[in-house]
Amino acid sequence: MKLFDVYPLYDVEPVSAQDCLVVDKNGVEYLDLYGGHAVISIGHTHPHYVHTLKTQLDKIGFYSNAVQNSLQQKLATKLGVQSGCEDYDVFLCSSGAEANENALKLASFHTRKSRVIAFDNGFHGRTSAAVAATDNPKINAPLNQQQEVTFLPLNDIEAVETELSIGDVCAVIIEPIQGVGGLDQGTTEFFQELEKACNQYDAVLILDEVQSGFGRSGKFFAYQYHGITPDIISIAKGMGNGFPVGGILIAPHIEASYGLLGTTFGGNHLACAATTAVLDVLEKEDLITNAKLTGDYFISEAANLSGVKQVKGRGLMLGIEFDFEVGELRKKLIYDYHIFTGGSKNKNLLRILPPLTAGKEEVDRLIKALRELLDKK
């Protein structure tokens, strides 16, 4: 059997990693400023994380959601306190797309309506409703196109109000900072008006924090920059530092009932251990403050590079938009400078998503490499 060939691959095979460094099978060390697509939050193979998972695996790794698992409540309590969302409930699943799928489904159950509003350049995953709410026709199969989704421009509150006033919208789904789409964000005024309009027209406001959450933006959740209270918050990626976990936080006015949502793997013992360990380290090492400080330093340094149009994002969810396409630059960074970075739908944008432990030293190494490469252009 061979692998279904859907991923264009760089010719690098990581076999070990520690904190912000990844080592390939030839012993070459790389600086990871991509975090395996914003997944590595507390650093690769963090000793507390490894110890917690190994200890849990020695006891029990998995049992289904048909029996008690007190690790889930322990995690929920800790997540509530650290995120400032103590009055929300949590439903645990295993990926970002699954989180958004459940968020959209729950919004539809709750309102008994079915149309969704999403935004230009948004990305929410590849399952049925999540991919339909993703602005990329190439990954939206005819099956998914049956969903009723209206795409609107970011920051156009009048367009949102016009659509909501029709009365058939169950949910508005939005990333507080767009990831795959290229780091654009709504203004605070837009988010606040959006919340009001959703309340007025009985639509559920879903904040997709799959990429921006768990401290990456410099706050626990990026929507917290805007003083709003979402109805549902989707989480995944950094939540498990590489262990596949996801979830949704659900505001108290949305009621649960037996069987409404469900999953085999969500909230299993290993997943809870991984997420609890991530929360322990975020708190103990004050990584959210570090993300903010390192991000601010990065923004000030990157702004002076030649060919830069704009430095975008917050915390350690960052992008440098150049006045040229960055594909070749990324290749040179990997093969010549041994630095992993990310791309985006915007071909001119270099994405930076390192572990939240990254500091001045890691930023300086990238800036130095970029200066050399840009001087040669």
Positions that interact with ligand PLP (CB under 6 A): 95-97, 100, 123-125, 175, 179-180, 208, 210-211, 236
**For residue 41, what are the contacts with CB-CB under 8 A and spacing of at least 6?**
35, 214, 215, 216, 237, 238, 239, 241, 278, 282, 287, 355, 356
Min dist CB 85 to ligand PLP, Å, is 18
Residue number, 96 or 319, with CB nearest to ligand PLP: 96
Residue number, 125 or 354, with CB nearest to ligand PLP: 125
Residue number, 179 or 247, with CB nearest to ligand PLP: 179
Residue number, 99 or 370, with CB nearest to ligand PLP: 99
Min dist CB 234 to ligand PLP, Å, is 7
Min dist CB 130 to ligand PLP, Å, is 7
Rounded CA separation 183/350 (Å): 10
Order of all β-strands in the sheet with 339-340: 14-18, 21-24, 29-32, 339-340
Residue number, 179 or 315, with CB nearest to ligand PLP: 179
Q: Which residue is nearest to ligand PLP (CB)?
A: 96
- C-beta separation of 186 from 154 below 8 A: yes
Min dist CB 1 to ligand PLP, Å, is 24
Min dist CB 66 to ligand PLP, Å, is 25
Residue 317, amino acid: M
Min dist CB 29 to ligand PLP, Å, is 26
From the number of C-beta atoms within 10 Å of its C-beta (0-12, 13-18, 19+), residue 125 rates as: buried
Residue number, 20 or 38, with CB nearest to ligand PLP: 38
Token pair, residue 13, equals 């095979």
Helix or strand run (H / E) with residue 248: strand 246-250
